[in-house]
Structure 1
Amino acid sequence: MPTPTRFREHIRIDLAVPAPGRAVRRAGVAGRCLRITATDVVERSGIRLSSPARTWCDLAPYCSVPELVAAADWAVRGRLVDPERLRAAISAHPDHRQRAKLHAAAELVDASSESTKESELRALVALAGLPAVEGNVEVFDGRGRFVARVDLLFRAYGEVLEYHGDHHRTDLRQWRHDRTREAELESLGLHVMEVTNADLATPRLLVARIARNLQRRGWRSELAVSRWFPAG
Protein backbone atom coordinates (compact mmCIF):
# COMPACT_ATOMS: atom_id res chain seq x y z
CA MET A 1 0.00 0.00 0.00
CA PRO A 2 1.60 3.32 -1.01
CA THR A 3 2.48 5.63 1.85
CA PRO A 4 4.11 9.10 1.89
CA THR A 5 7.83 9.20 1.19
CA ARG A 6 8.44 10.72 4.64
CA PHE A 7 7.64 7.30 6.11
CA ARG A 8 10.85 5.96 4.57
CA GLU A 9 12.89 7.96 7.06
CA HIS A 10 11.64 5.64 9.81
CA ILE A 11 11.93 2.12 8.46
CA ARG A 12 10.79 -0.24 11.18
CA ILE A 13 8.50 -3.14 11.90
CA ASP A 14 5.14 -2.35 13.47
CA LEU A 15 4.40 -5.27 15.78
CA ALA A 16 1.04 -5.35 17.52
CA VAL A 17 -0.45 -7.57 20.19
CA PRO A 18 -4.17 -7.81 20.90
CA ALA A 19 -5.47 -5.81 23.85
CA PRO A 20 -5.03 -6.10 26.77
CA GLY A 21 -1.54 -7.43 26.02
CA ARG A 22 1.61 -5.42 26.61
CA ALA A 23 3.28 -3.75 23.60
CA VAL A 24 6.68 -5.15 22.62
CA ARG A 25 9.70 -2.92 23.37
CA ARG A 26 12.64 -3.70 21.11
CA ALA A 27 15.12 -1.83 18.91
CA GLY A 28 13.82 -1.37 15.34
CA VAL A 29 10.29 -2.31 16.38
CA ALA A 30 7.29 -0.07 17.00
CA GLY A 31 5.26 -1.99 19.54
CA ARG A 32 1.52 -1.48 19.75
CA CYS A 33 -1.44 -2.84 21.63
CA LEU A 34 -4.55 -2.90 19.43
CA ARG A 35 -8.19 -3.68 19.84
CA ILE A 36 -8.73 -6.03 16.93
CA THR A 37 -11.20 -8.63 15.73
CA ALA A 38 -10.68 -11.84 13.76
CA THR A 39 -11.66 -10.09 10.53
CA ASP A 40 -8.90 -7.50 11.07
CA VAL A 41 -6.18 -10.14 10.62
CA VAL A 42 -4.99 -11.99 7.50
CA GLU A 43 -2.10 -14.40 6.99
CA ARG A 44 0.51 -14.04 4.26
CA SER A 45 3.46 -16.47 3.97
CA GLY A 46 2.88 -17.57 7.53
CA ILE A 47 2.91 -14.03 8.93
CA ARG A 48 -0.17 -12.59 10.62
CA LEU A 49 -0.84 -9.13 9.23
CA SER A 50 -3.54 -6.55 9.68
CA SER A 51 -6.01 -6.71 6.79
CA PRO A 52 -5.78 -4.10 4.01
CA ALA A 53 -8.93 -2.35 5.28
CA ARG A 54 -7.73 -2.25 8.90
CA THR A 55 -4.24 -1.13 7.82
CA TRP A 56 -5.78 1.71 5.82
CA CYS A 57 -7.82 2.83 8.81
CA ASP A 58 -4.75 2.70 11.05
CA LEU A 59 -2.95 5.11 8.70
CA ALA A 60 -5.44 7.89 9.44
CA PRO A 61 -3.51 9.61 12.26
CA TYR A 62 -0.39 9.86 10.11
CA CYS A 63 -1.79 10.72 6.65
CA SER A 64 -3.75 13.56 5.10
CA VAL A 65 -7.07 12.84 3.39
CA PRO A 66 -5.47 12.98 -0.11
CA GLU A 67 -2.81 10.50 1.03
CA LEU A 68 -5.51 8.20 2.41
CA VAL A 69 -7.38 8.48 -0.90
CA ALA A 70 -4.23 7.49 -2.80
CA ALA A 71 -3.71 4.43 -0.60
CA ALA A 72 -7.35 3.36 -0.92
CA ASP A 73 -7.40 3.89 -4.70
CA TRP A 74 -4.39 1.58 -4.97
CA ALA A 75 -5.92 -1.09 -2.74
CA VAL A 76 -9.30 -1.03 -4.52
CA ARG A 77 -7.66 -1.00 -7.97
CA GLY A 78 -5.58 -4.03 -6.97
CA ARG A 79 -8.71 -5.80 -5.66
CA LEU A 80 -7.24 -6.12 -2.18
CA VAL A 81 -10.39 -4.56 -0.79
CA ASP A 82 -13.63 -3.04 -2.06
CA PRO A 83 -15.25 0.28 -1.08
CA GLU A 84 -17.96 -1.48 0.93
CA ARG A 85 -15.33 -3.27 3.01
CA LEU A 86 -13.56 0.04 3.63
CA ARG A 87 -16.78 1.60 4.90
CA ALA A 88 -17.40 -1.38 7.17
CA ALA A 89 -13.86 -1.14 8.53
CA ILE A 90 -14.37 2.56 9.31
CA SER A 91 -17.55 1.84 11.25
CA ALA A 92 -15.79 -0.90 13.22
CA HIS A 93 -12.56 0.99 13.85
CA PRO A 94 -11.96 1.47 17.58
CA ASP A 95 -10.53 4.98 17.23
CA HIS A 96 -13.70 7.04 16.95
CA ARG A 97 -11.65 10.24 16.49
CA GLN A 98 -10.51 9.12 13.03
CA ARG A 99 -13.85 8.05 11.61
CA ALA A 100 -14.90 11.41 10.14
CA LYS A 101 -11.53 11.76 8.41
CA LEU A 102 -11.70 8.21 7.04
CA HIS A 103 -15.26 8.73 5.77
CA ALA A 104 -14.12 11.92 3.99
CA ALA A 105 -11.38 9.93 2.24
CA ALA A 106 -13.66 6.99 1.41
CA GLU A 107 -16.08 9.33 -0.39
CA LEU A 108 -13.30 10.26 -2.82
CA VAL A 109 -12.01 6.77 -3.66
CA ASP A 110 -11.86 6.05 -7.40
CA ALA A 111 -10.22 2.85 -8.65
CA SER A 112 -9.76 4.33 -12.13
CA SER A 113 -6.90 6.47 -10.82
CA GLU A 114 -3.65 5.14 -12.26
CA SER A 115 -1.04 6.62 -9.93
CA THR A 116 -0.66 7.72 -6.33
CA LYS A 117 0.02 11.34 -7.22
CA GLU A 118 -2.90 11.45 -9.62
CA SER A 119 -5.12 10.29 -6.75
CA GLU A 120 -3.73 12.97 -4.45
CA LEU A 121 -4.26 15.66 -7.07
CA ARG A 122 -7.86 14.58 -7.72
CA ALA A 123 -8.57 14.61 -3.98
CA LEU A 124 -7.12 18.12 -3.62
CA VAL A 125 -9.37 19.34 -6.43
CA ALA A 126 -12.44 17.93 -4.67
CA LEU A 127 -11.46 19.19 -1.21
CA ALA A 128 -10.83 22.70 -2.57
CA GLY A 129 -14.38 23.00 -3.90
CA LEU A 130 -13.28 23.15 -7.54
CA PRO A 131 -15.64 21.90 -10.28
CA ALA A 132 -16.11 18.18 -10.90
CA VAL A 133 -13.17 16.64 -12.72
CA GLU A 134 -12.94 13.47 -14.86
CA GLY A 135 -9.99 11.11 -14.65
CA ASN A 136 -8.07 9.38 -17.46
CA VAL A 137 -10.08 10.83 -20.30
CA GLU A 138 -9.30 9.94 -23.92
CA VAL A 139 -9.16 12.98 -26.20
CA PHE A 140 -9.80 12.79 -29.96
CA ASP A 141 -9.58 15.43 -32.65
CA GLY A 142 -12.40 16.46 -35.00
CA ARG A 143 -11.66 13.55 -37.35
CA GLY A 144 -11.83 10.96 -34.57
CA ARG A 145 -8.05 10.55 -34.32
CA PHE A 146 -6.82 9.66 -30.84
CA VAL A 147 -4.65 12.45 -29.44
CA ALA A 148 -4.00 11.69 -25.78
CA ARG A 149 -5.28 10.18 -22.57
CA VAL A 150 -5.16 12.94 -19.98
CA ASP A 151 -4.92 12.54 -16.21
CA LEU A 152 -7.69 14.96 -15.20
CA LEU A 153 -10.09 17.01 -17.29
CA PHE A 154 -12.46 19.83 -16.37
CA ARG A 155 -14.55 19.14 -19.45
CA ALA A 156 -16.83 22.19 -19.20
CA TYR A 157 -13.81 24.51 -19.08
CA GLY A 158 -11.35 22.77 -21.39
CA GLU A 159 -8.76 22.60 -18.61
CA VAL A 160 -6.40 19.63 -18.34
CA LEU A 161 -4.25 18.69 -15.34
CA GLU A 162 -1.28 16.43 -15.94
CA TYR A 163 0.91 15.09 -13.13
CA HIS A 164 4.55 14.80 -14.21
CA GLY A 165 7.10 12.85 -12.20
CA ASP A 166 10.82 13.52 -12.52
CA HIS A 167 11.22 11.09 -15.44
CA HIS A 168 9.20 13.52 -17.57
CA ARG A 169 12.09 15.94 -17.06
CA THR A 170 15.13 13.65 -17.09
CA ASP A 171 14.15 11.37 -20.00
CA LEU A 172 14.75 13.34 -23.22
CA ARG A 173 12.44 11.15 -25.29
CA GLN A 174 9.65 11.53 -22.72
CA TRP A 175 10.21 15.30 -22.53
CA ARG A 176 9.94 15.66 -26.32
CA HIS A 177 6.84 13.46 -26.39
CA ASP A 178 5.23 15.59 -23.68
CA ARG A 179 5.86 18.81 -25.58
CA THR A 180 4.31 17.44 -28.79
CA ARG A 181 1.37 15.97 -26.89
CA GLU A 182 0.76 19.26 -25.09
CA ALA A 183 0.88 21.18 -28.36
CA GLU A 184 -1.65 18.77 -29.89
CA LEU A 185 -4.03 19.20 -26.95
CA GLU A 186 -3.75 22.98 -26.99
CA SER A 187 -4.39 23.04 -30.74
CA LEU A 188 -7.80 21.53 -29.89
CA GLY A 189 -8.57 24.44 -27.59
CA LEU A 190 -7.59 22.75 -24.32
CA HIS A 191 -5.28 24.34 -21.78
CA VAL A 192 -2.76 21.97 -20.19
CA MET A 193 -1.44 22.62 -16.69
CA GLU A 194 1.46 20.45 -15.57
CA VAL A 195 1.67 19.55 -11.88
CA THR A 196 4.77 18.24 -10.09
CA ASN A 197 5.46 16.84 -6.66
CA ALA A 198 6.70 20.28 -5.60
CA ASP A 199 3.23 21.66 -6.44
CA LEU A 200 1.56 18.98 -4.31
CA ALA A 201 3.76 20.07 -1.41
CA THR A 202 2.14 23.54 -1.52
CA PRO A 203 -1.50 22.55 -2.07
CA ARG A 204 -3.09 25.94 -1.36
CA LEU A 205 -0.93 27.67 -3.94
CA LEU A 206 -1.66 24.84 -6.38
CA VAL A 207 -5.46 24.99 -6.13
CA ALA A 208 -5.41 28.79 -6.26
CA ARG A 209 -3.52 28.54 -9.56
CA ILE A 210 -5.97 25.95 -10.90
CA ALA A 211 -8.87 28.20 -9.85
CA ARG A 212 -7.40 31.19 -11.72
CA ASN A 213 -7.09 29.12 -14.90
CA LEU A 214 -10.70 27.95 -14.56
CA GLN A 215 -11.96 31.46 -13.88
CA ARG A 216 -10.15 32.65 -16.99
CA ARG A 217 -12.19 30.03 -18.86
CA GLY A 218 -15.56 30.96 -17.40
CA TRP A 219 -15.80 29.43 -13.93
CA ARG A 220 -17.65 31.95 -11.80
CA SER A 221 -17.41 30.40 -8.33
CA GLU A 222 -14.80 30.65 -5.60
CA LEU A 223 -12.77 28.08 -3.72
CA ALA A 224 -14.68 26.42 -0.88
CA VAL A 225 -11.90 24.66 1.00
CA SER A 226 -12.90 21.66 3.12
CA ARG A 227 -11.69 21.21 6.69
CA TRP A 228 -9.85 18.14 5.39
CA PHE A 229 -7.75 20.11 2.94
CA PRO A 230 -4.10 19.62 3.99
CA ALA A 231 -1.99 22.45 5.38
CA GLY A 232 0.80 23.87 3.25
Structure 2
Amino acid sequence: MFTVRSALSLGASEDRLRARDLDRSIRGVRMPVDATLTMRLDAAFLAVPSAFACGPTAAHIHGLPLPFRVAPGAGAIDIAIAGPGRAVRRRRFRARSLRVRPGDVVVVGRIPTLSVERAWCDLTRWCSVPELVAGADHAIRMRLTTLPRLVEAVDRLPDQRGTAKLRAALELVDPASESPKESETRALVVLAGLPTPRVNVTIHDERGLFVARVDQFFEDFGEVLEYQGDHHRTDQRQWRRDRTRESELESLGLHVTEVTEADLRRPVELVERVARNLARRGWRGEIRLSRWFPRTPPVALQRRSP
Protein backbone atom coordinates (compact mmCIF):
# COMPACT_ATOMS: atom_id res chain seq x y z
CA MET A 1 0.00 0.00 0.00
CA PHE A 2 1.31 3.46 -0.80
CA THR A 3 0.09 6.98 -1.35
CA VAL A 4 -0.12 8.48 -4.81
CA ARG A 5 1.95 11.41 -3.61
CA SER A 6 4.83 9.20 -2.45
CA ALA A 7 4.75 7.15 -5.65
CA LEU A 8 4.89 10.27 -7.84
CA SER A 9 7.77 11.64 -5.77
CA LEU A 10 9.70 8.43 -6.47
CA GLY A 11 9.18 8.72 -10.22
CA ALA A 12 6.10 6.59 -10.87
CA SER A 13 4.03 7.80 -13.81
CA GLU A 14 0.34 8.67 -13.62
CA ASP A 15 -0.35 5.98 -16.22
CA ARG A 16 1.27 3.37 -13.97
CA LEU A 17 -0.87 4.51 -11.05
CA ARG A 18 -3.98 3.96 -13.18
CA ALA A 19 -3.00 0.39 -14.11
CA ARG A 20 -5.54 -2.39 -13.68
CA ASP A 21 -3.43 -4.30 -11.16
CA LEU A 22 -3.87 -1.47 -8.63
CA ASP A 23 -6.98 -0.85 -6.53
CA ARG A 24 -7.97 2.84 -6.70
CA SER A 25 -11.06 2.65 -4.49
CA ILE A 26 -9.50 4.78 -1.72
CA ARG A 27 -8.68 8.21 -3.03
CA GLY A 28 -4.99 9.08 -2.87
CA VAL A 29 -3.90 5.50 -2.08
CA ARG A 30 -3.00 2.48 -4.19
CA MET A 31 -2.92 -1.21 -3.27
CA PRO A 32 -3.15 -4.57 -5.07
CA VAL A 33 -6.52 -5.36 -6.59
CA ASP A 34 -6.60 -8.59 -4.54
CA ALA A 35 -5.75 -6.80 -1.28
CA THR A 36 -6.72 -8.57 1.94
CA LEU A 37 -8.78 -6.88 4.64
CA THR A 38 -5.57 -6.10 6.55
CA MET A 39 -4.09 -4.45 3.45
CA ARG A 40 -7.27 -2.44 2.95
CA LEU A 41 -7.14 -1.30 6.57
CA ASP A 42 -3.52 -0.25 6.13
CA ALA A 43 -4.57 1.70 3.04
CA ALA A 44 -7.42 3.34 4.93
CA PHE A 45 -5.08 4.63 7.61
CA LEU A 46 -2.64 5.89 5.00
CA ALA A 47 -5.52 7.97 3.67
CA VAL A 48 -6.81 9.05 7.11
CA PRO A 49 -3.92 8.77 9.60
CA SER A 50 -5.98 10.04 12.56
CA ALA A 51 -8.69 7.36 12.17
CA PHE A 52 -9.14 4.07 13.99
CA ALA A 53 -11.21 0.97 13.30
CA CYS A 54 -14.61 0.69 14.92
CA GLY A 55 -17.83 -1.33 14.62
CA PRO A 56 -17.70 -4.78 12.95
CA THR A 57 -14.24 -4.01 11.53
CA ALA A 58 -12.80 -3.52 15.04
CA ALA A 59 -14.57 -6.67 16.27
CA HIS A 60 -13.10 -8.62 13.34
CA ILE A 61 -9.59 -7.38 14.15
CA HIS A 62 -9.96 -8.76 17.69
CA GLY A 63 -11.34 -12.07 16.39
CA LEU A 64 -14.86 -11.68 17.79
CA PRO A 65 -17.52 -13.80 16.08
CA LEU A 66 -19.82 -11.79 13.84
CA PRO A 67 -23.04 -12.57 11.99
CA PHE A 68 -22.40 -13.06 8.29
CA ARG A 69 -24.56 -10.06 7.38
CA VAL A 70 -22.22 -7.60 9.15
CA ALA A 71 -18.82 -9.32 8.92
CA PRO A 72 -16.25 -7.22 7.02
CA GLY A 73 -15.57 -8.54 3.56
CA ALA A 74 -14.95 -6.73 0.33
CA GLY A 75 -17.31 -3.92 1.33
CA ALA A 76 -16.83 -0.74 3.30
CA ILE A 77 -14.44 -0.41 6.24
CA ASP A 78 -15.71 0.94 9.57
CA ILE A 79 -13.51 3.78 10.77
CA ALA A 80 -13.95 6.61 13.23
CA ILE A 81 -12.39 9.92 14.15
CA ALA A 82 -12.23 10.84 17.82
CA GLY A 83 -15.03 13.26 18.65
CA PRO A 84 -15.71 16.10 18.45
CA GLY A 85 -13.85 15.78 15.13
CA ARG A 86 -15.97 15.36 12.03
CA ALA A 87 -16.27 12.01 10.29
CA VAL A 88 -14.33 11.65 7.06
CA ARG A 89 -16.63 11.15 4.07
CA ARG A 90 -14.90 8.83 1.63
CA ARG A 91 -16.02 6.06 -0.65
CA ARG A 92 -15.48 2.57 0.81
CA PHE A 93 -15.57 3.91 4.38
CA ARG A 94 -18.42 3.78 6.88
CA ALA A 95 -17.11 6.75 8.80
CA ARG A 96 -18.22 8.10 12.18
CA SER A 97 -17.22 10.60 14.80
CA LEU A 98 -16.92 8.66 18.05
CA ARG A 99 -16.31 9.90 21.58
CA VAL A 100 -13.57 7.86 23.21
CA ARG A 101 -11.90 7.78 26.61
CA PRO A 102 -8.27 6.95 27.46
CA GLY A 103 -7.68 3.27 26.79
CA ASP A 104 -10.56 2.95 24.34
CA VAL A 105 -8.21 2.94 21.33
CA VAL A 106 -5.36 0.42 21.10
CA VAL A 107 -3.00 -0.80 18.40
CA VAL A 108 -3.32 -4.40 17.20
CA GLY A 109 -0.40 -5.28 14.97
CA ARG A 110 -0.03 -1.89 13.35
CA ILE A 111 -3.74 -1.11 13.15
CA PRO A 112 -5.31 1.46 15.51
CA THR A 113 -8.64 0.12 16.68
CA LEU A 114 -11.16 0.25 19.48
CA SER A 115 -10.19 -1.97 22.40
CA VAL A 116 -11.87 -5.39 22.51
CA GLU A 117 -14.23 -4.20 25.27
CA ARG A 118 -15.24 -1.01 23.47
CA ALA A 119 -15.50 -2.89 20.15
CA TRP A 120 -17.93 -5.36 21.75
CA CYS A 121 -19.99 -2.46 23.11
CA ASP A 122 -19.99 -0.87 19.67
CA LEU A 123 -21.65 -3.97 18.20
CA THR A 124 -24.94 -3.07 19.89
CA ARG A 125 -25.73 -1.06 16.75
CA TRP A 126 -25.61 -4.18 14.57
CA CYS A 127 -26.20 -7.26 16.72
CA SER A 128 -29.05 -8.85 18.63
CA VAL A 129 -28.70 -9.75 22.32
CA PRO A 130 -27.98 -13.45 21.53
CA GLU A 131 -25.28 -12.36 19.06
CA LEU A 132 -23.78 -10.04 21.69
CA VAL A 133 -23.78 -12.93 24.17
CA ALA A 134 -21.90 -15.05 21.63
CA GLY A 135 -19.28 -12.32 21.24
CA ALA A 136 -18.82 -11.87 24.98
CA ASP A 137 -18.64 -15.63 25.66
CA HIS A 138 -15.96 -15.98 22.99
CA ALA A 139 -13.91 -13.00 24.16
CA ILE A 140 -13.86 -14.24 27.76
CA ARG A 141 -13.22 -17.88 26.81
CA MET A 142 -10.27 -16.84 24.63
CA ARG A 143 -8.96 -14.60 27.44
CA LEU A 144 -9.24 -11.46 25.37
CA THR A 145 -11.05 -9.81 28.26
CA THR A 146 -13.00 -10.59 31.43
CA LEU A 147 -16.60 -10.14 32.47
CA PRO A 148 -15.71 -7.34 34.96
CA ARG A 149 -13.86 -5.46 32.21
CA LEU A 150 -16.87 -5.73 29.89
CA VAL A 151 -19.17 -4.49 32.67
CA GLU A 152 -16.81 -1.58 33.32
CA ALA A 153 -16.69 -0.76 29.59
CA VAL A 154 -20.49 -0.52 29.47
CA ASP A 155 -20.59 1.62 32.61
CA ARG A 156 -18.09 4.13 31.24
CA LEU A 157 -19.51 4.51 27.73
CA PRO A 158 -19.67 8.22 26.85
CA ASP A 159 -22.97 7.65 25.06
CA GLN A 160 -25.47 5.65 27.10
CA ARG A 161 -27.60 4.65 24.11
CA GLY A 162 -27.73 0.88 23.82
CA THR A 163 -26.44 0.18 27.33
CA ALA A 164 -29.66 -1.56 28.41
CA LYS A 165 -29.22 -4.01 25.56
CA LEU A 166 -25.57 -4.58 26.47
CA ARG A 167 -26.43 -5.18 30.13
CA ALA A 168 -29.11 -7.67 29.10
CA ALA A 169 -26.44 -9.57 27.15
CA LEU A 170 -23.99 -9.49 30.06
CA GLU A 171 -26.56 -11.16 32.32
CA LEU A 172 -26.54 -14.17 29.96
CA VAL A 173 -22.79 -14.59 29.56
CA ASP A 174 -21.38 -18.07 30.14
CA PRO A 175 -17.88 -18.55 28.69
CA ALA A 176 -18.22 -22.31 29.16
CA SER A 177 -20.03 -22.31 25.79
CA GLU A 178 -17.58 -23.53 23.20
CA SER A 179 -19.02 -22.01 20.05
CA PRO A 180 -20.87 -18.80 19.14
CA LYS A 181 -23.91 -20.73 17.90
CA GLU A 182 -24.14 -22.63 21.19
CA SER A 183 -24.14 -19.26 22.95
CA GLU A 184 -26.88 -17.89 20.69
CA THR A 185 -29.01 -20.99 21.23
CA ARG A 186 -28.71 -20.75 25.02
CA ALA A 187 -29.51 -17.03 25.00
CA LEU A 188 -32.64 -17.60 22.90
CA VAL A 189 -33.86 -20.28 25.30
CA VAL A 190 -33.39 -18.08 28.37
CA LEU A 191 -34.85 -14.98 26.70
CA ALA A 192 -37.97 -17.03 25.96
CA GLY A 193 -38.50 -17.76 29.66
CA LEU A 194 -37.41 -21.39 29.50
CA PRO A 195 -35.14 -22.93 32.17
CA THR A 196 -31.43 -22.13 31.93
CA PRO A 197 -29.56 -25.21 30.67
CA ARG A 198 -26.21 -26.32 31.99
CA VAL A 199 -23.42 -25.92 29.45
CA ASN A 200 -21.05 -28.63 28.14
CA VAL A 201 -22.07 -31.34 30.57
CA THR A 202 -20.46 -34.78 30.66
CA ILE A 203 -22.98 -37.65 30.64
CA HIS A 204 -22.13 -41.07 32.12
CA ASP A 205 -24.08 -44.32 32.06
CA GLU A 206 -25.28 -46.26 35.09
CA ARG A 207 -21.82 -47.87 35.40
CA GLY A 208 -20.10 -44.49 35.45
CA LEU A 209 -18.70 -44.87 31.95
CA PHE A 210 -18.41 -41.84 29.68
CA VAL A 211 -21.15 -41.53 27.07
CA ALA A 212 -21.00 -37.98 25.73
CA ARG A 213 -20.27 -34.36 26.45
CA VAL A 214 -23.39 -32.44 25.46
CA ASP A 215 -23.69 -28.79 24.51
CA GLN A 216 -26.62 -27.93 26.77
CA PHE A 217 -28.51 -30.00 29.30
CA PHE A 218 -31.81 -29.39 31.08
CA GLU A 219 -30.90 -31.79 33.86
CA ASP A 220 -34.23 -31.72 35.69
CA PHE A 221 -36.05 -32.75 32.52
CA GLY A 222 -33.56 -35.05 30.80
CA GLU A 223 -33.53 -32.81 27.72
CA VAL A 224 -30.37 -32.24 25.66
CA LEU A 225 -29.79 -29.44 23.13
CA GLU A 226 -27.07 -29.99 20.55
CA TYR A 227 -26.04 -27.37 17.99
CA GLN A 228 -25.04 -29.07 14.73
CA GLY A 229 -22.79 -27.11 12.41
CA ASP A 230 -22.74 -27.95 8.74
CA HIS A 231 -19.74 -30.27 9.12
CA HIS A 232 -21.98 -32.63 11.12
CA ARG A 233 -23.91 -33.11 7.87
CA THR A 234 -21.13 -33.07 5.28
CA ASP A 235 -18.63 -35.27 7.12
CA GLN A 236 -19.99 -38.83 6.81
CA ARG A 237 -17.97 -40.21 9.71
CA GLN A 238 -19.05 -37.32 11.94
CA TRP A 239 -22.68 -37.88 10.93
CA ARG A 240 -22.43 -41.58 11.84
CA ARG A 241 -20.81 -40.77 15.19
CA ASP A 242 -23.59 -38.27 15.92
CA ARG A 243 -26.29 -40.85 15.25
CA THR A 244 -24.63 -43.43 17.52
CA ARG A 245 -24.08 -40.81 20.21
CA GLU A 246 -27.71 -39.72 20.03
CA SER A 247 -28.91 -43.32 20.31
CA GLU A 248 -26.71 -43.89 23.37
CA LEU A 249 -28.07 -40.77 25.06
CA GLU A 250 -31.67 -41.74 24.34
CA SER A 251 -31.00 -45.26 25.66
CA LEU A 252 -30.33 -43.58 29.01
CA GLY A 253 -33.79 -42.01 28.94
CA LEU A 254 -32.65 -38.61 27.65
CA HIS A 255 -34.12 -36.78 24.69
CA VAL A 256 -31.92 -34.93 22.19
CA THR A 257 -33.02 -31.88 20.19
CA GLU A 258 -30.66 -30.89 17.41
CA VAL A 259 -30.40 -27.22 16.44
CA THR A 260 -29.06 -25.88 13.15
CA GLU A 261 -28.41 -22.48 11.61
CA ALA A 262 -31.84 -22.67 9.95
CA ASP A 263 -33.45 -23.02 13.40
CA LEU A 264 -31.67 -19.90 14.65
CA ARG A 265 -33.21 -17.99 11.76
CA ARG A 266 -36.67 -18.98 13.10
CA PRO A 267 -36.17 -18.33 16.81
CA VAL A 268 -39.84 -18.39 17.85
CA GLU A 269 -40.38 -21.78 16.21
CA LEU A 270 -37.20 -23.09 17.85
CA VAL A 271 -38.14 -22.15 21.41
CA GLU A 272 -41.68 -23.41 20.91
CA ARG A 273 -40.28 -26.79 19.92
CA VAL A 274 -37.93 -26.89 22.92
CA ALA A 275 -40.79 -25.83 25.22
CA ARG A 276 -42.98 -28.68 23.95
CA ASN A 277 -40.21 -31.19 24.58
CA LEU A 278 -39.67 -29.84 28.10
CA ALA A 279 -43.42 -29.91 28.80
CA ARG A 280 -43.56 -33.60 27.82
CA ARG A 281 -40.96 -34.18 30.51
CA GLY A 282 -42.64 -32.29 33.30
CA TRP A 283 -41.89 -28.60 32.81
CA ARG A 284 -44.93 -26.55 33.83
CA GLY A 285 -43.78 -23.11 32.79
CA GLU A 286 -44.75 -21.12 29.72
CA ILE A 287 -42.99 -19.13 27.05
CA ARG A 288 -42.52 -15.47 27.98
CA LEU A 289 -40.57 -13.67 25.31
CA SER A 290 -38.26 -10.99 26.67
CA ARG A 291 -38.16 -7.61 24.96
CA TRP A 292 -34.68 -8.64 23.78
CA PHE A 293 -35.85 -11.83 22.10
CA PRO A 294 -35.29 -11.50 18.33
CA ARG A 295 -38.77 -12.38 17.11
CA THR A 296 -37.81 -12.13 13.43
CA PRO A 297 -34.47 -12.78 11.75
CA PRO A 298 -32.44 -9.84 10.45
CA VAL A 299 -33.47 -8.75 6.97
CA ALA A 300 -30.24 -9.95 5.38
CA LEU A 301 -30.82 -13.48 6.70
CA GLN A 302 -34.57 -13.39 6.14
CA ARG A 303 -34.03 -13.01 2.40
CA ARG A 304 -31.95 -16.21 2.39
CA SER A 305 -34.59 -18.27 4.18
CA PRO A 306 -36.20 -20.98 2.06
Give the structure 1 partner of residue 190 of structure 2: 126
Aligned to 1:186: 250
Matches of 1:223 and 1:12 in 2, distance apart?
40
> Larger radius of gyration, structure 1 or 2?
2
Report Cα offsets for 1:120-161 as digits up to 9, x if no partner. 001011101101210000000011110000000000000000
> Aligned AA for 1:76?
I
Give 1:69's aligned amino acid. Answer: V
Determine the C-alpha separation between the residues in 2 that align with 1:51 and 1:164: 32
Q: Which runs of 5+ in 2 are unaligned?
A: 1-63, 297-306
Q: Distance in 2 between matches of 1:80 and 1:171?
A: 31
121-130 vs 11-20, greater mean Cα deviation? 11-20
Partner in structure 1 of residue 65 of structure 2: 2
Closer/same/farther in 2, CA of residues 217 and 66 from structure 1, 3 Å limit: same
Q: Which residue of 1 aligns with 2:264?
A: 200
Q: Which residue of 1 aligns with 2:138?
A: 74
Q: Tell me the residue number matched to 2:274.
A: 210
Which residue of the partner structure matches residue 60 of structure 1? 124
Instruction: Give 1:12 deviation, angstroms.
Output: 2.6
Is this contact kept in 1: 2:133–2:170, CA < 8 A? yes
1:85-118 C-alpha deviation (Å, 9 max, x unpaired): 1111111112322011000001111111100100
- The TM-score normalised by the length of structure 2 is 0.74
Give the fraction of aligned pairs with identical amino acids, expressed as a percent: 60
Q: Distance in 2 between matches of 1:169 and 1:14?
A: 35
Note the 1:94-113 alignment, pairs <5 A. Answer: 94-113=158-177
2:225 alignment partner AA: L
Q: Point out the more displaced range, 5-14 or 49-58.
A: 5-14
Q: Whole-Å Cα distance in 1 between the matches of residues 75 and 140 of structure 2?
A: 25
Aligned: 1:19 with 2:100: no
Alpha-carbon distance between aligned partners in 2 of 1:127 and 1:159, rounded to the nearest angstrom: 18
**Aligned partner of 1:145: which letter?**
L
- Give the letter aligned to residue 85 of structure 2: G
One-letter amino acid of the counterpart of residue 241, structure 2: H
CA distance in 1, matches of 2:239, 2:75: 34
Task: Give runs of ≥4 in structure 1 deviating > 6 Å.
Answer: none
Contact preservation (8 Å) 2:117, 2:153? yes
Q: Greater CA deviation, 35-44 or 144-153?
A: 35-44
* Residue ranges of structure 1 left out of the alignment (5+ in a row): none
RMSD, matched Cα: 1.1
Taking structure 1 as the reference length, what is the TM-score of the superposition?
0.97
Alignment equivalent of 2:105, drawn from 28, 41, 49: 41
| Alpha-carbon offset, residue 10 of structure 1 | 6.7
- Say which is worse superposed, 211-220 or 87-96, in terms of deviation: 87-96
2:148 counterpart SS class: helix
